[in-house]
A and B are shown apart, each in its own frame.
Chain A
Amino acid sequence: MIKNSFRYRHIGHSIRILGAVVSTLTLLALVDSSAVGASVSGHAPAIASASTGVAKVAVAETTMHITGFDAAVARAHGFSIIMRNGVQMSVPSAHLASGPDNTIYGNCGKSWIYLTGTHLEYHYYTGFSVNTPAVEYHWQVSIVGPYSYDNNRTWGGGLAFRTTWRAPGSGDYNVPVDDSGYYDGKVIPSGSWALLDNGGYCTSGGPSSRTYVP
């Protein structure tokens, strides 16, 4: 989470990003931010000086903005800098390295689910293609996330002899969420199948997808 304000604190508190502050009592400015590798710009207001010799702490708040990422710093902390929808983001490298089975192939077609994350929002689409026209289907997707988040969606009905079905019809579902973290989506095989016009059934192999929502 990226903080939009900071406070000067007594020496001894944890330090993540240092900002310079000058006062007659030589206080150290500390900024708490978990945006690893981020370059932060902000304007620290003047701190009232004390002439009594008693240590005082000045509190000031100001808006901060990420102006860029230091890829080397990010990498050193296990993060990678990526572009998502034209915006630079810092995401855990472990996520990028993982290879969920977004598309699973079988002997009568393939099925898929793709999740991507942007700031406090995830996006997904799902669907299937079969080798023979389908006339009926049912589809079930489960997406889970931090703090026991879950989102279950089903689709079902008839198809006009189609070989491909996808949801949504174009683009992605955009789902705003409260919390950052990993979100895992899965097509549930027991509830995901197509009835073909030749009477055969085709069942999903249960593709899955994981994304990090910053």
Chain B
Amino acid sequence: MQRQSEPPEDRAAPQWATSLPLFGLPESFTGLRLVGDREVSRWEERAHSRVTSGTSETFGLVHGGPPGRPGQSYLQVLSSTLPGPEPSALLTAEAERPEPDTSLDEAREFAISISLDGNPVEFRGVRTAAVWACSTNLPGYAIAVIGIRWPTNDLVLVPILDVMPYVEGRNAVIAERRRQASRGS
């Protein structure tokens, strides 16, 4: 990867609109809220006279943190098209963060019940001492939850109908990081 001063020509702002149902912590949580991992993927394959195509989508909402600095605690709730991400892959992705205590040593499977829109739903996943990730498939979509130094007990998730507070939270964190970077340079 090569540093570049100008934005790429094809740069387009991330799409915040989604048809996926989103879930997050209830209003009683007063900490930071920000958009987390957001991905839209499209593919098109041409073989002989046949053309096939498809899309997949993931939208993550982060509570707490913010991520990207060692020692933070946060919870990310991901909504995805099916098939959703594997908990082991989510755990691996967290272990790739440059933090000292997110190693995958002694990862073990676990199951928990999370209140999702008022209904208890069983999630299955894997956990280490500091990080856990679990998921469940629902009709038409998947929900995954990643906790970084976040307790698993009594988790309550509610539908999030307005994503703008999360977008504004993300923008505020990025603006602060850039201020810090410009002061440091």
User: Which A residues have a C-beta under 8 Å from some C-beta of B?
Assistant: 105-111, 128-130, 133, 135-136, 138, 147-164, 166-170, 175, 177-179, 190-191, 193-195, 197-205
Contact = CB atoms under 8 A, between A and B. Distances in A.
Contact of A158 (B11, B12, B88, B170): B170
Contacts of A178: 47-48
B10 A202 contact: no
A161 B3 contact: no
Nearest to A152: B44
A153 B41 contact: yes
B2 A158 contact: no
A177 B41 CA distance: 21
Contacts of B7: 195, 201
B24 interface: no
B1 A158 contact: no
A200 B3 contact: yes
B89 interface: yes
B108 interface: no
14 contacts: A135-B174, A147-B47, A148-B46, A149-B45, A154-B42, A156-B14, A157-B14, A157-B15, A158-B38, A164-B96, A175-B45, A197-B177, A197-B178, A199-B181
Given A153-B41, A155-B40, A169-B92, A203 B1 contact: yes
A11 B178 CA distance: 79
Contacts of B69: 161
B125 interface: no
Interface string B165-181: 00000100110011001
Given A158-B36, A161-B69, A201-B3, 6 more contacts: A130-B1, A133-B68, A155-B40, A157-B39, A163-B98, A190-B8
Interface string B73-98: 00010000000011011101100111
Which of A151, A170, A191 has the most chain B CB atoms closer than 10 A to its own CB? Answer: A170
A161 to B, nearest CB: 3
Interface stretch (B25-33, B59-67, B114-122, B153-161): B59-67
